[in-house]
Amino acid sequence: MKKRSVFISIAVLITCCGAKAQAKHITVPMQPAAWQFDSSKTEFVLYKSVRCVKGRNNAFYQVFLKDQVFTAGTIEFDVELSGMGFPGINFRMSADNKNGEHFYIRSFGPVSSATRTTLQYAEIKDGVSMWDLADEYQAGAVIHQDSWNHVKLVISGKQMKAYVNDMHKPALVVPELESSQRSGGISLSGNVIFANLVIKPGVVESLDSSAALNVIANDTRYLRKWEVAPAIGFPFGKEIIISLPSMYGTLTKADLPDSSAKWQPLIANNRGIVNVYNLFGATENDARRLTWLRTTIIADKEQERTIQLGFSDEAWVFINGQIVYAGKNYFGTPQAKNDGRCTIENANFTLPLKQGKNEIMIALANYFYGWGIIARLDDTAGLSLSE
C-alpha cells in the first residue's frame, strides 16, 4: 500500500506540474474586450474558422493588448498578409507606447527567402522606429502570400530569436535588443489579419539573458568615441558653408563650430552606431535638424587613410578645417544609399592625416527616422584614436 501511495503522490505531482506549465500559456482572445483599438479601422471577425483581428476595408490598424505586461518568454501568432506594408508586433512598450521593441515583416508581394530585407527588428525610441540604424537586424524568410504565416519570438533579457514558418531554425537572431525598456505592453499593427496569439511568460528555451558577443566590438578600426554639439533647426534648402578660394583672398569662411560651442560625449554602441537620435529625440512635421560631431586621430607620421562612413540623412566631413566629403542619403530618392539605411557601405573616401593631432568634424543633418553615423578606418597602424 505504501508503494501505491508513492505512485499516487508522483502522479499528483506530475499533474500539478503540468497544470502549472499550462498556466504559463496565455491564449489571448481575438475579441474586442481584450484590446484597445480604433473601431473605425479595426474589426474582430471569424475568418477561416478562426477568431481574428483585421482592418476594416484593409485599413492599417493597431491594437493594444490590455492588462498584460511582458518581460521575457515566448510570443507566437499567425499572420496572413492581406495588404502591403509593415505588419508586426511591438513588445516591452512603455505606458505611452513611445519606447520599446519592434519586429515586423516587409510585405510587398512575393519574395525569395534570400531577400535580406524581409524581416526587421528595430528599437522604438520616442515613438520612432530606428530601422534605418539597424541594417544588421534584417533577414530573409519563407513567406506565404495566401495563407497563414506562423511567427514565434523567443525573448530573454537582451536577446531574441525570431522564427517565421520554420520552427526549427530562427530566421533572425538579435544578439542585443537595444531599447532601455525591460518590460511593457504588447501591440499588433498592419493592414493584415492576425490570429492565434499565445504568450508564454518565462519560456525562453535556454536563451541567455545577457547580450551575446558582437564581433564588431573587437574591431579597433571603428571610430567610437565622439563629442556632439547641441542640435539646431536647419531648414530645407540650407547647406553647410565651406571655405572657397578667391583671387582676392578667402571668399567664404567654413561653417565650423567656434570655441564657444558646447560639447558632450557620445559613444558608439556595440554595432559601431553613433546614435544621435537617442540624445535629441523626435521632432514634428519632418523638421530638419543639424548637429556637429567631432573626434581626434593622432598620427605618428603624415599619411593617408581610407574611411568608410555611414550616415543618416546628410553629412559634411571636415578634417583639420578642410572639407573632404559631402553626401546625402535620403530614403526614397535617387540619392539614397543602401535604401536610405545608415551602413558602413554608404561612402568611402580618403583622410589626409598630418603628423600629430587631426580633428575630424562632421555636420550631420536629419529629418527622417534614425539619426546617426558609423565610421571605420581601413587600418589603425601608427594611429591613436580618441580615448
Asked if residue 100 has pLDDT above 50, the reply is yes
Give the Cα separation of 308 and 317 in Å (integer): 12
Distance between CA atoms of residues 58 and 191, nearest Å: 6
Q: Is residue 19 part of a domain?
A: no
32 shares a domain with 110: yes
Quick check: 366 pLDDT over 80?
Answer: yes
Q: Does 85 have pLDDT greater than 90?
A: no
Q: Are residues 160 and 263 in the same domain?
A: no
- 242 and 190, same structural domain? no
Check residue 253 and give its pLDDT: 80
**Same domain, residue pair 271 and 340:** yes
Whether residue 226 sits in one domain with residue 184:
no
Residues 76 and 158 in one domain: yes
Residues of the chain with pLDDT > 70, as a percent, come to 94
State whether the Cα torsion 257-260-264-265 is positive or negative. Answer: positive
Angle subtended at Cα 104 by Cα 102 and Cα 109, rounded to the nearest 5 degrees: 160
Same domain, 100 and 171: yes
CATH number of the domain bearing residue 68 = 2.60.120.560
End-to-end CA distance of the chain: 75
pLDDT of residue 283: 84
**Dihedral (CA of 374, 378, 380, 383) sign:** negative
The answer to whether residue 164 is domain-embedded is yes
What gap in Å lies between CA 192 and CA 54, rounded to an integer? 6
Confidence band, pLDDT 50/70/90 cuts, at residue 246? confident
Q: Could you tell me if residue 90 is inside a domain?
A: yes
**Dihedral of alpha carbons 271, 368, 329, 351, sign:** negative
Q: Is residue 3 included in any domain, yes or no?
A: no
What is the rounded average pLDDT of the residues 321-325? 95
- Residue 282: pLDDT band with limits 50, 70, 90: confident
Domain boundary, last residue among 137, 168, 201: 201
Q: Which of 171, 201, 231 corresponds to the end of one domain?
A: 201
Q: Are residues 41 and 110 in the same domain?
A: yes
Mean pLDDT in residue range 90-99: 97
Query: In which band, very low, low, confident or very high, does the pLDDT at 250 lie, cut at 50, 70 and 90?
Result: low
Q: What is the pTM of this model?
A: 0.89
183 lies in some domain: yes
Question: Does residue 360 sit within a domain?
Answer: yes
DSSP, collapsed to helix, strand or coil, labels residue 24 as helix
164-185 pLDDT, tens digit per residue, is: 999 999 999 999 999 999 999 9
Question: Looking at the structure, do residues 244 and 163 belong to the same domain, yes or no?
Answer: no
Instruction: Report if residue 16 sits inside a domain.
Output: no
Our count of domains for the chain comes to 2
Rounded to whole angstroms, the Cα distance separating 252 from 172 reads 50
309 and 343 co-located in one domain: yes
Alpha helix stretches (DSSP H) within the chain: 2-24, 277-280
Q: Whole domain around residue 287: which residue ranges?
A: 215-385
Tell me which amino acid residue 58 is.
N
Instruction: Write the CB contacts of 33 (distance below 8 Å, at least 6 apart in sequence).
Output: none
CA–CA distance, 319 with 74 (Å, rounded to integer) = 49
* Cα torsion through 106, 112, 115, 117, rounded to 10: 0
pLDDT in tens, 39-80: 999 999 999 999 999 999 989 999 999 999 999 999 999 999
What is the full DSSP assignment across 303-350? EEEEEEEEEESEEEEEETTEEEEEEE--TTSTT-SGGG---TTSEEEE
Q: Given 175, 201, 227, which residue is the final one in a domain?
A: 201
Q: Does one domain contain both 178 and 244?
A: no
Q: Do residue 228 and residue 350 come from a single domain?
A: yes
Written as one letter, the residue type at 70 is F
41: its cell numbers: 479601422
Domain of residue 325, CATH code: 2.60.120
Q: Please indicate, yes or no, if residue 8 is contained in any of the structural domains.
A: no
